[in-house]
Amino acid sequence: MSFFDYVSANSEIIGFLLLQHLQVVLLAVGFATAISLGVAIGTERLPRVRAALLATSGTILTIPSFALFGLLIPVFGLGVAPTVLALTVYAIFPILRNTVTALETVDGAVIDAATGMGMGSGRRLRIVRLPLAWPVILNGIRVATIMVVAIAAIGAAVRGPGLGELIFRGLSRIGGANALNEALSGVVAIVVVALLLDVLFLLIGKLTTPRGLHV
């Protein structure tokens, strides 16, 4: 059986796992975005706390994902919960890093003028800083998403949802009938998911970047 024959014969299950994969990634990235924005904004006057949280989230990124999933089993068991949790933890660093940098590097003259016109810190954040920082924040979200798409495959090790299942099952019976095709279909599907999301973010970026910034 050729690879394409295998895919067309199993298109239903591959499609189902692909959607699951997409869902779990978007869920984790959504959580990570909310947490990162909250932390970045909440620690504006607490530079030490902010530095500590950034360092922590950066360090977490160095833990091999296979090990992290395993370590979460005793606490969260198997399935969706530990997968989403681990992916969220991984996604935080790029988003937090970019959010902090973006908010810090908004043109000082613009902030000075806004303050001088009588905008309080809340308005400055909402009306000036977040819109101006948004393209960089969005880029952090995009990087996090691509990264997490790959890591999500490892979630299958804790019975997590998604395309990892195809890869793990295929590899575990390598040499058997269609084992390689099965693993390969998972890999290819993950690449497809990553490309789809990348295009999606380019579109979101185009639509949500304030017009005045790219005239």
Partner 1 sequence: MSEQSTPGTGTRSDVMISLRDVSKRYSGADAEAVRPLSIDIERGEFLVLVGPSGCGKTTTLRMINRLVEPSGGEIWVDGKNATRVDADELRRHIGYVIQQVGLLPHMTIGENVGLVPKLLGWGKDRIRQRVTELLDLVGLDPDTYRSRYPKQLSGGQQQRVGVARALAADPPVMLMDEPFGAIDPITRGHLQDEFLKLQARIRKTIVFVTHDIDEALRLGDRIAIFDENARLAQLATPLEILTNPADDFVRSFIGDGAALRRLALLRVGDLPAVPGVGIRDGVEVEPDETVSAVLEKVLAAGSDSAVVRGRGSLTVQDMLLATAVRDESAVAT
Of 47-55, 96-104, 120-128, 154-162, the segment contacting partner 1 by CB under 8 A is: 120-128
Taking the least distance from each CB to partner 1, the nearer of 59 and 121 is: 121
Applying CB under 8 A, among 119, 150, 188, 194 the residue interacting with partner 1 is 119
195-214 residues in contact with partner 1 (CB under 8 A) are 210-213
Structure tokens at 52: 């500590």
Are 164 and 156 contacting, i.e. CB atoms less than 8 angstroms apart?
Answer: yes
Structure tokens at 178: 């269609």
User: Is there binding between residue 128 and partner 1 (CB under 8 A)?
Assistant: yes
Applying CB under 8 A, among 114, 143, 157, 179 the residue interacting with partner 1 is 114
Rounded to an integer, what is the distance from CA 35 to the centroid of its chain?
12
Phi, psi (deg, nearest 5) at residue 43:
-105, 20
C-alpha–C-alpha distance, residues 170 and 164, integer Å: 10
Side-chain half-sphere CA neighbours of 70 within 13 A? 5
User: Is there binding between residue 132 and partner 1 (CB under 8 A)?
Assistant: yes
CB of 124 to partner 1, least distance (A): 10
Footprint of partner 1 (CB under 8 A): 107, 109-120, 123, 127-128, 131-132, 210-213, 215
